[in-house]
Chain A
Amino acid sequence: MRDLALDHFIAAGRAELAPATLPLRIQGLRFARQGRTLIHGLDLTLDRGGITMVMGPNGAGKSLLLRLVHGLIAPCAGEILWGGAPVSPAITRRQALVFQKPVLLRRSVAANLDFVLKARGRASASTREALLARVGLAGRGGQPARLLSGGEQQRLALARALATEPEVLLLDEPTASLDPASVQAFEAIVADVARQGTKVLFVSHDIGQARRMADDVVFIAGGWVAEHSPAECFFAAPDSAVARAYLAGHLVL
């Protein structure tokens, strides 16, 4: 049984721990690929810490938005500002992205973490072991990374992201193909990361997950923001018809 009062207290704590890279301001963002406009003049402001859930139907532009704010792809038009600064390698470096399908190196679990720690000049066995313990993989360092279970691979990908000490953690449907136990383990780590002050942008289709994790919800449909509300408002009474339909389980195309 979850303690709702405690959850509210934790959520309030997260919001106060807004990292220096906030606010994120997106104005008139447009992205087109092969003649097809996928994001249409999207505007969004995120100025609080905690976990922002990005929801919406397939093809709405959620993953694209994550890649755009992370600087992996460049917009056709519009502006993305993190703490007033446009996206640059320096901004990307302060963030980490966990992909839906973890891309692990063909090495051991420990070597996957050592690779990132070394690239960031933080290589040490104690740091690596602490990260492995944090994601529940203590003592598994010697195993081949690609032979871990799906849930373990995703937790290792999360540990690798945390190895960069990100101010913003971007999660692109990381639990989409995991079983409930793996989802629970992953969510517990993410909640803990957010509690410690890391801003989390979490893309998910899972309404239950969004209810459990979100401080605020950005609902995207058709390449623009249909709604951005605090989680309790969003789930109690969504403003937009498209979000209401989505939450009611209707097919939103």
Chain B
Amino acid sequence: MQDFGEAFGLAFGLVASGDADLVEIVALSLRVSLSATGLACLIGLPLGAFLAVSRFPGRMPAIIVVNALMGLPPVVVGLLIYLALSRAGPLGVLGVLYTPTAMIVAQTVLITPIVAALSRQLIEDLHAEYAEQFRSLCLTRRQEVQALLWDGRYALLTVALAGFGRAVAEVGAVMIVGGNIDHLTRVMTTAIALETSKGDLGLALALGIVLMVIALGVNAAVQSIRLTAARFAYA
């Protein structure tokens, strides 16, 4: 067991020297989680907007289901995607299990409900303000949704951020469908879990520091974009 201070020293050394393993793991983490966030936004934002502006039988149950799915346990998502992608599963022929693609799929499934549920609430509030004007202009449902998504774009950045935060921080789903294979599917969270269990706290701490710096950096960037937009009354 390493001394705590020594572990911190090692961690800063790895970060400062740009350790190749560390860089590879961080890069894969960002690739997987940013791809999953992009896909989740592509699916979740229109879905959230549709739920916000449309009125159909079963809308309330649909909203409740989407809200409930925000709490999906990552290991359960991992298990379901594993079953679907395994050789005997319905998508086994794709042969993507234990690849970054499987990890992207798992994280997309995990965070799409978060993006859909939060954007639904946000767009519904915006729609309450615009609804009468839109009806007066005789807009189609599609035109309404497009306008709401565009006008809510800065607030929706925060929604995307919430999805990204969940994706980049989860360990259960990527561990199951990625397998934590060195140089192939090892991401920050799975590496932290592995290195901690091996007692190599230096690398684990270094990854933890990078993870927190990324989280802080992305939050700061989004916040500054929102503040700039607010100055122009666009947010």
Contact = CB atoms under 8 A, between A and B. Distances in A.
A92 B138 contact: yes
B197 interface: no
A164 B137 contact: yes
A144 B232 contact: yes
Contacts of A144: 232-234
Contact of A89 (B138, B232, B233): B138
Contacts of A99: 132-133
A107 interface: yes
A214 interface: no
Interface residues of B, number: 17
Given A70-B136, A93-B138, A119 B143 contact: yes
Interface size class of A (residues with CB under 8 A): 20 to 34
Contact of A103 (B130, B139, B234, B235): B130
Nearest to B232: A144
Contacts of A115: 147
A72 B138 CA distance: 10
A32 interface: no
Contacts of B130: 103, 105
A106 interface: yes
A147 B230 CA distance: 11
B129 interface: yes
Given A99-B132, A115-B147, A119-B143, A106 B233 contact: yes
A146 to B, nearest CB: 4
Nearest to A115: B147
A96 interface: yes
Contact of B136 (A72, A106, A107, A146): A72
A137 B234 CA distance: 19
B137 A119 contact: yes
A233 to B, nearest CB: 32
Contacts of B137: 116, 119, 164
Interface string B136-164: 11110001000100110000000000000
Contacts of B138: 89, 92-93
Nearest to A111: B150
B151 A106 contact: yes
A54 interface: no
Nearest to B153: A106
Interface string A106-142: 1100000001100100000000000000000000000
Contact of A72 (B132, B232, B233): B132
Interface string A65-93: 00000101000000000000000010011
B59 interface: no
Contact of A92 (B136, B234, B235): B136
Q: Which of B135, B136, B147 counts the most A-chain CB atoms under 10 A from its CB?
A: B136
A156 interface: no
B125 to A, nearest CB: 13
Contacts of A93: 138
Contacts of B129: 103
Contacts of A145: 233
A104 to B, nearest CB: 9
Nearest to A91: B138
A239 B19 CA distance: 91
Nearest to A94: B138
A152 B232 CA distance: 16
Contact of A97 (B136, B139, B147): B136
A193 B136 CA distance: 19
Contacts of A119: 137, 139, 143
A72 B134 CA distance: 10
B233 A105 contact: no
A162 to B, nearest CB: 13
Given A93-B138, A97-B136, A119-B137, 16 more contacts: A70-B136, A72-B135, A92-B138, A103-B130, A105-B147, A105-B151, A106-B151, A106-B235, A107-B151, A115-B147, A116-B137, A119-B139, A144-B233, A145-B233, A147-B233, A164-B137
Interface of B: 129-130, 132-133, 135-139, 143, 147, 150-151, 232-235
13 contacts: A72-B136, A89-B138, A92-B136, A95-B136, A97-B136, A103-B129, A103-B132, A105-B151, A106-B151, A116-B137, A144-B234, A145-B233, A147-B233
Interface of A: 70, 72, 89, 92-93, 95-97, 99, 103, 105-107, 115-116, 119, 144-147, 164
